[in-house]
């Protein structure tokens, strides 16, 4: 039973990952990532990490993916053009991915960790439940807990600053030679007042 669940979840996780890489439309990529995250939550449950699985589903598949869907809907899910700007990129990237996989497998399976071949330690029923994880977070890892709360606050403030309408960054660089080829950039109405703001900052 456990093996069946493992292989089903592993297939889901792998299929979701390949879907993210292969699908042209970013919106379908986000949906494939949701499949991947749910399958990973099943794997976490198999590894008796109930709280991590629940957090995975609620935080990742819930909140973060909603954010992704909103942004993809906002910027428009343009399918990206075919054709590789770097010659041979489509051939070299899978080769490099395969090399990374082989290297990681050799590094892990060739290590002297004899416990890798076992099913892991026999853990009790309370292993990985919210009470145990919460106790660890608030006692042994209090510093990491507080640091991550500050990190979350900074990220929220940073996102508001980055995505706000106020033009903090100057726009005239958009009309530079790098993007001169694409039509319709650098709205002139905004480019004018943006320059003094940038200078004042």
Find the binding residues for another protein in span 118-157 (CB under 8 A).
118-123, 127-128, 132-133, 136-137, 140-141, 144, 148, 151-152, 154-156
Map the footprint of another protein across residues 30-59, applying CB under 8 A: 30, 33, 36-37, 40, 43-44, 46-49, 51-52, 55-56, 59
CA 60 to chain centre: 9
Count of residues of this chain found to bind another protein when the rule CB under 8 A is applied: 98
Q: Which residues contact 198 (CB under 8 A, 6 or more apart)?
A: 167, 168, 169, 170
| Min separation Cβ 193 and another protein, Å | 14
How is residue 40 written in tokens? 């990973």
Among 21, 66, 73, 195, which residue interacts with another protein (rule: CB under 8 A)? 21
Nearer to another protein, 116 or 196 (CB): 116
C-alpha–C-alpha distance, residues 41 and 10, integer Å: 11
Please give the C-alpha separations between residue 100 and each of 18, 113, 132, in angstroms, as whole numbers: 16, 20, 35
Retrieve residue 162's tokens. Answer: 């980055």
172 part of the interface to another protein, by CB under 8 A = no
Residue count of the chain = 201
Site for another protein in 85-114 (CB under 8 A): 85, 89-90, 92-94, 96-98, 100-101, 104-105, 108-109, 113
Rounded distance between C-alpha atoms, residue 160 and residue 72, angstroms: 18
Verify binding: residue 29, another protein, rule CB under 8 A: yes
Please state, in angstroms and rounded to a whole number, the distance separating the CA atoms of residues 124 and 134.
17
In the bound state with another protein, the residue whose beta carbon lies nearer, of 176 and 193, is: 176
What is the smallest separation between the CB atom of 178 and another protein, expressed in angstroms? Answer: 5
Tell me the two tokens of residue 147. Answer: 């640091």
- One residue of 88, 112, 125, 162 binding another protein per CB under 8 A: 162
Copy the structure tokens of residue 59: 């935080």
């Amino acid at each position: 039973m456990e093996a069946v669940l493992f292989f089903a979840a592993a297939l889901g996780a792998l299929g979701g990952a390949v879907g993210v890489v292969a699908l042209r439309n970013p919106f379908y990529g986000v949906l494939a990532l949701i499949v991947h995250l749910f399958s990973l939550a099943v794997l976490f449950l198999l590894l008796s990490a109930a709280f991590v699985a629940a957090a995975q589903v609620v935080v990742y598949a819930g909140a973060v993916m909603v954010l992704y869907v909103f942004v993809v809907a906002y910027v428009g899910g343009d399918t990206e053009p075919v054709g590789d700007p770097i010659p041979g990129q489509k051939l070299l990237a899978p080769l490099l991915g395969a090399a990374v996989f082989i290297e990681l497998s050799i590094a892990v399976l060739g290590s002297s960790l004899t416990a890798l071949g076992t099913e892991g330690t026999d853990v009790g029923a309370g292993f990985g439940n919210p009470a145990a994880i919460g106790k660890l977070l608030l006692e042994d890892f209090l510093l990491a807990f507080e640091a991550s709360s500050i990190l979350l606050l900074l990220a929220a403030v940073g996102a508001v600053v980055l995505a706000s309408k106020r033009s903090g960054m100057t726009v005239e660089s958009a009309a530079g030679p790098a993007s001169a080829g694409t039509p319709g950039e650098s709205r002139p109405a905004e480019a004018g007042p943006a320059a003094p703001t940038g200078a004042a900052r």
